[in-house]
Chains A and B, each alone.
Chain A
């Protein structure tokens, strides 16, 4: 029996299509068949358009037959968090307020994926206005974890994490303001890369807090992530914060290996926040990395919590500025926890907001010159606790009691939005109840290639990423 194309990696299916061993229509049908079986269980799509996806797949197959290959993603079905604008198309941002809103511009990342030959299967569920770390959504229904639907997917790119893990799409875009790519990647057992601030254009991506927003890929393998990043990275004149740094060959660099790579490991106060079962999987990941030739070094204790409140101030002030008109006129069209989390930004002094922004430079310099002075990468947990259930993390019903849980989920995430450093969440095992565990590798500015090389070496030596969730489980 021929293998199910949906279970192939993005890189494998891209090669199969390029070699004409598989058509784009076949790959797209395989994804659509899986979506049909899984959507009722996961609720990871807000909208999908099978007809349009198949029509584009047929067009791409015909072009390939004529010798025209658009790019490295020719004929690959993807799906993206419903916050990337496409001119003329509805983009809800996971909100009630924008349920019927149509964009008048197309996000640069979608333009680039289109040009590289990708197909968009549909738009994925997300936290309302990208505000939420769990995957709950009052308006479109909660997104559910494919390893166990009672558990949270993480957010805000909830559908991206769940769809890629369940093999409903070969890859997905997410956006990360305080962990929103890396948390769902970790909770669903896929890779999630938050690039350096400015590496990937934010033009046409719905803002959560523009100073901290990062766009990046979620995929099953490091090679898949490298392929996606190769297409979306690079200067964009439409984004004033876009970097002019040259884009390296992410795919070509994967085989370099990690011999001699200097990895900083945690000691000190942050360790107390890590659950023992998670700590065991993190320890095992370090043993693998060491066996691959990496050099492990204890790093000076750093209290990540100190970045946390500064980032929180920036998020609240920017979100409040964006939303204040709707907060005043249409407050009932926000979930309570989404509305209330922005309110502090309406009254915090402007001086505090500017001071928080101004501290990013000196604190980044300090982090690079002290913590990372003699190392290449820092090894951190992704989510330091076992993945919690949807019920345990429902702010609408549980109220403020779960805020402490949220802070723990985001503790190792938000600081790197504040510092703008690249960070990747890499699956490294499962807890006793079958939910994924991940570690996070944080690099210096614009070292995404090195992070992907590390992830690739780790995945070559392990098989956590090859496990596939089952509807029968």
Chain B
């Protein structure tokens, strides 16, 4: 079910106490739905134990591997 502009408008008011004009709520609903769906779809690939800090660990591990074998 698509995110309706009215739902988004009410949600913005509820959680951020910010009012959105109707046309802007319509634009933003499309954008929020697009990003929400993109991340939700991609995150199906995530393992239970993966956390954000794994990114920095991989950068560092690669640097150590480079220093060790020159790759």
Contacts and interface: CB of A to CB of B under 8 A. Distances in A.
Candidate in A241, A328, A358, A365 with the most chain B CB atoms within 10 angstroms: A358
Given A340-B24, A359-B43, A196 B51 contact: no
Contacts of A309: 34-35, 38-39
Nearest to B64: A245
In which size bucket is the chain A interface?
35 or more
A344 B12 CA distance: 10
Interface stretch (A113-121, A269-277, A310-318): A310-318
Contacts of B40: 352, 355
A211 to B, nearest CB: 8
B59 A197 contact: yes
Interface in A381-412: 400
Nearest to A327: B18
B63 to A, nearest CB: 4
Given A344-B35, A348-B35, A420-B55, A355 B62 contact: no
A445 B63 CA distance: 6
A346 B35 CA distance: 13
A428 B49 CA distance: 44
A194 to B, nearest CB: 14
A453 to B, nearest CB: 14
Given A355-B43, A358-B54, A444 B15 contact: no
A343 interface: yes
Interface in A347-395: 347-349, 352, 354-362, 364-365, 368
Candidate in A312, A356, A357, A445 with the most chain B CB atoms within 10 angstroms: A445
A211 B39 CA distance: 16
A243 B63 CA distance: 10
A245 B65 CA distance: 12
Candidate in B12, B17, B42 with the most chain A CB atoms within 10 angstroms: B42
B66 interface: yes
Given A346-B18, A348-B32, A364 B46 contact: no
A66 interface: no
Contacts of A357: 52, 55
A113 B45 CA distance: 43
Interface in B46-71: 46-47, 50-60, 62-63, 66
Contact of B31 (A197, A344, A354): A344
Given A313-B39, A362-B46, 9 more contacts: A245-B63, A306-B42, A309-B35, A324-B16, A343-B24, A346-B16, A347-B15, A352-B43, A364-B59
Interface of A: 196-198, 211, 241, 243-245, 306, 309-310, 312-313, 316, 324, 327-328, 340, 343-344, 346-349, 352, 354-362, 364-365, 368, 400, 420, 444-447
25 contacts: A244-B60, A309-B38, A309-B39, A313-B38, A340-B28, A344-B28, A344-B32, A346-B18, A347-B16, A352-B43, A354-B52, A355-B40, A355-B43, A358-B50, A360-B52, A360-B54, A361-B55, A361-B58, A362-B45, A362-B46, A362-B50, A365-B58, A400-B27, A446-B66, A447-B66
Rank and list the top 3 A-B pairs by shortest CB-CB distance, nearest first: A361-B54, A309-B38, A357-B52
